[in-house]
Amino acid sequence: MHKIYFAGSISGGREDVDVYPPIIEYLGRYGKVLTEHIGNKAMTQMGESIPLAEIYRRDMEWLSEANIVVAEVTKVSLGVGYELGRMVERNISLPKEKKKEMLCLYRPQKGRRLSPMISQSESLEIVEYGTFEEAKAAIDAFFASVKEK
């Protein structure tokens, strides 16, 4: 079973808090989502009420454990960028069969642009979407390609 790390903005702002839960639920078809709390509407920008060092340690552990990383990257978040960067770097030293597969879902918006640090990274698959139906199709296609590898 896949272990999926879903990444989405917390401190970066919770404007997309309604976008994350249906994606997280849909990902559940494909494996265990380690970070279901990202879609918790009760969690504010101030995050979870556990020590910050503990959040960092636990999230880094889950990232190591996960074989799949799916990030919703529309709402700019330092933490999401950091997590993706760490995994891109780690992939370099992992053997082929252990490499993390990474999907970034992005909703294009007028007057905005996805950071080239994300859009130009070869290890990241970026899919633009508008509707939830399109997000589901992107997730299906991603997992189909993971299976073929």
Residues that bind ligand 6IA (CB under 6 A): 7-12, 35, 38, 46-48, 55, 59, 77-80, 83
**SS3 labels along 80-149:** HHHHHHHHHHHHHHCCHHHCCEEEEEECCCCCCCCCHHHHCCCCEEEEECCCHHHHHHHHHHHHHHHHHC
Token pair 């309604």 in the structure block, residue: 18
Determine the residue with CB nearest ligand 6IA: 79
Q: How far is the CB of 95 from ligand 6IA (least distance, A)?
A: 25
Phi, psi (deg, nearest 5) at residue 102: -130, 125
Nearer to ligand 6IA, 90 or 147 (CB): 90
| Least separation in angstroms between CB 83 and ligand 6IA | 6
The nearer residue to ligand 6IA, 53 or 144, going by C-beta atoms, is: 53
Q: Which is nearer to ligand 6IA, 54 or 140 (CB)?
A: 54
CB of 13 to ligand 6IA, least distance (A): 7
The H or E element spanning position 4 is: strand 2-7
